[in-house]
DNA sequence: TGGCTCTTGAAGTCGGGCGC
DNA sequence: GCGCCCGACTTCAAGAGCCA
């Protein structure tokens, strides 16, 4: 059988199908829009091509469609699709395919995947969350307490410089955030970064990236690091090697890309000038929320209790020296008991958790962008 | 609460171009 | 002529938001 120098349509389609299967194997589930960005990034009809290719693969039983809780669909490898990949020499393809794959935190997974695709399109080498979980990535052995910490995504530039990427989209307790401080110390503490030599790659971890679509999470991370710097738990120098990235993704998992990027060092310097930021904020939002000090004890307690689902009940009871009670009992605490709680303690508790959150300062993702724009417009020579 | 509109993702159809 | 890629356009369904 004679082969032409240029691939004919059939061969191109076959190559496209194989490429789609390979990406599915690496990401563990992708939508057609994600596949279009990966396989046909420069083509205006890439989305349509991805749909057509997925349709053909589904018809051939090589992929399975999975409905997402937020609407839309994602596609995973079927057993047959996985088998085909193994025949093509992809040893990482699971024998059972990805039919048992669960999408318990689709928002987190989608931000990981979309951010990974962005980095891939920027020319960086990537290891996806799915690959890291399956130990198919150059993951450093960093344990904090009894837990081994693993990143959500790993990227590498110039075949040397590795980045540990954390997607921070949900609330994390202070103790879990502190674990990330330890990771940063281990990773970025060494002068040349953390060296790794694995069968997947060799290089040096030289920076850490925190990605979130919710600004309050980035603020929580920076605050935790700020405290660690103040207590000299880690060196301030690493603040330059930590990046905060605000991204935009809708509830229906529609990706709008990166909203703003800033180093932790820049962000903390900005936070130091918090009153200036607040002044700009007040100009933008003429009706700021009331000051915590002006709220009644009853309202303060309601705010404390509203943090329940995020903090543990025990933590709250310990903080206010209350007998451990059920969440419902704490929510319906009688007024006379609320009056006995130290008001300053409630203020401190709320300041600790709220001052840096959306609720108190009216921050939102758009504001981060405003904030970054505002600071980028400042004349560096004029700042003290 | 129901109807309407808009947005978004998935999929169908058509025609031009290309290689065999 | 056939089979495929590719681009453009269209249709359909589901969800969200708005309004009477």
pLDDT at residue A185 tops 50: yes
Give the tens place of pLDDT for each residue, A138-183. Answer: 888 777 777 778 888 899 988 888 999 988 876 666 777 788 888 8
Of A5-9, A47-51, A73-77, A287-291, highest mean pLDDT: A73-77
Residues with CB under 7 A from strand C: A 8-10, 12-14, 16, 40, 43-46, 48-49, 52, 70-71, 251-252
pLDDT at residue A2 tops 50: no
Give the tens place of pLDDT for each residue, A228-244. Answer: 888 888 888 888 899 88
Give the position of tokens 């996806």: A128
A40 close to A49: Cβ distance less than 8 angstroms:
yes
Predicted confidence at residue A209, as pLDDT, reads 92
Predicted confidence at residue A163, as pLDDT, reads 92
| Chain C nucleotides covered by protein, CB below 7 Å | 3-9, 14-16
Give the tens place of pLDDT for each residue, A343-367. Answer: 888 877 766 554 343 333 333 334 4
3-state secondary structure (DSSP) of residue A78: coil
Residues with CB under 7 A from strand B: A 2-6, 8-9, 31-33, 48, 51, 54-55, 58, 65, 72-74, 250, 252-254
A189 close to A166: Cβ distance less than 8 angstroms:
no
**Rounded CA separation A74/A343 (Å):** 50
pLDDT at residue A333 tops 60: yes
Q: Is pLDDT larger for residue A288 or for residue A93?
A: A93
Closest CA to A203 of A214, A213, A212, A194: A194
- Burial string for A78-106 (b: 16+ CB within 10 Å, else e) reads bbebbbbbeeeeeeebbeebbeebebeee
Rounded to whole angstroms, the distance from the CA of residue A251 to the C1' of nucleotide C15 is 11
**Rounded CA separation A291/A271 (Å):** 19
**Which pair of tokens denotes residue A38?**
């990966």
- Burial string for A128-153 (b: 16+ CB within 10 Å, else e) reads bbbbbeeebbbbbebebeeeebbbbb
pLDDT at residue A88 tops 70: yes
**Rounded CA separation A243/A225 (Å):** 12
3-state secondary structure (DSSP) of residue A22: helix
> Of the given ranges (A61-70, A83-92, A192-201), which has the lowest mean pLDDT?
A61-70
Predicted confidence at residue A69, as pLDDT, reads 57
pLDDT at residue A257 tops 50: yes
Q: What average pLDDT score do residues A308-326 get?
A: 69
Predicted confidence at residue A272, as pLDDT, reads 61
Predicted confidence at residue A312, as pLDDT, reads 62
Q: What average pLDDT score do residues A211-230 get?
A: 77
| Chain B nucleotides covered by protein, CB below 7 Å | 8-13, 17-20
């Amino acid at each position: 059988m004679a082969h032409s120098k240029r691939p004919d349509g059939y061969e191109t389609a076959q190559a496209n199908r194989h490429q789609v299967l390979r990406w599915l194997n690496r990401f563990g589930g992708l939508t057609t829009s994600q596949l279009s960005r990966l396989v046909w990034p420069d083509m205006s009809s890439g989305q349509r091509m991805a749909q057509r290719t997925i349709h053909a693969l589904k018809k051939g039983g090589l992929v399975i469609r999975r409905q997402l809780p937020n609407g839309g669909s994602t596609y995973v490898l079927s057993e047959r699709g996985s088998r085909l990949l193994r025949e093509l020499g992809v040893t990482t393809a699971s024998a059972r395919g990805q039919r048992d794959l669960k999408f318990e935190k689709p928002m987190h997974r989608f931000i990981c995947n979309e951010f990974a695709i962005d980095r891939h399109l920027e020319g960086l080498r990537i290891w996806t969350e799915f690959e890291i979980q399956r130990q198919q990535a150059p993951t450093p052995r960093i344990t904090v307490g009894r837990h081994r910490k693993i990143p959500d995504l790993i990227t590498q530039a110039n075949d040397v410089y590795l980045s540990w990427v954390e997607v921070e989209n949900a609330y994390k307790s202070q103790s879990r955030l502190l674990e990330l401080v330890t990771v940063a110390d281990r990773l970025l503490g060494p002068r040349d970064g953390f060296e790794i030599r694995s069968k997947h790659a060799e290089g040096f971890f030289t920076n850490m990236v925190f990605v979130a679509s919710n600004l309050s999470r980035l603020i929580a991370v920076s605050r935790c690091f700020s405290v660690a710097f103040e207590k000299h738990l880690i060196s301030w120098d690493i603040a330059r090697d930590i990046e905060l990235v605000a991204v935009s993704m809708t509830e229906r998992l529609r990706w709008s890309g990166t909203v703003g990027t800033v180093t932790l060092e820049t962000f903390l310097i900005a936070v130091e000038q918090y009153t200036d930021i607040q002044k700009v904020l007040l100009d933008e939002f003429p009706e700021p929320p009331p000051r915590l000090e002006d709220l009644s004890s009853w309202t303060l307690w309601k705010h404390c209790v509203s943090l329940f689902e995020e903090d543990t009940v025990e933590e709250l009871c310990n903080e206010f020296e209350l007998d451990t009670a059920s969440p419902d009992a704490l929510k319906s605490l009688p007024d006379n008991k609320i009056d006995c709680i130290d008001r300053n303690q409630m203020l401190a508790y709320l300041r600790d958790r709220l001052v840096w959150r959306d609720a108190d300062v009216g921050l939102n993702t758009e504001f981060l962008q405003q904030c970054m724009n505002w600071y980028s417009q400042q004349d560096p020579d004029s700042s003290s």
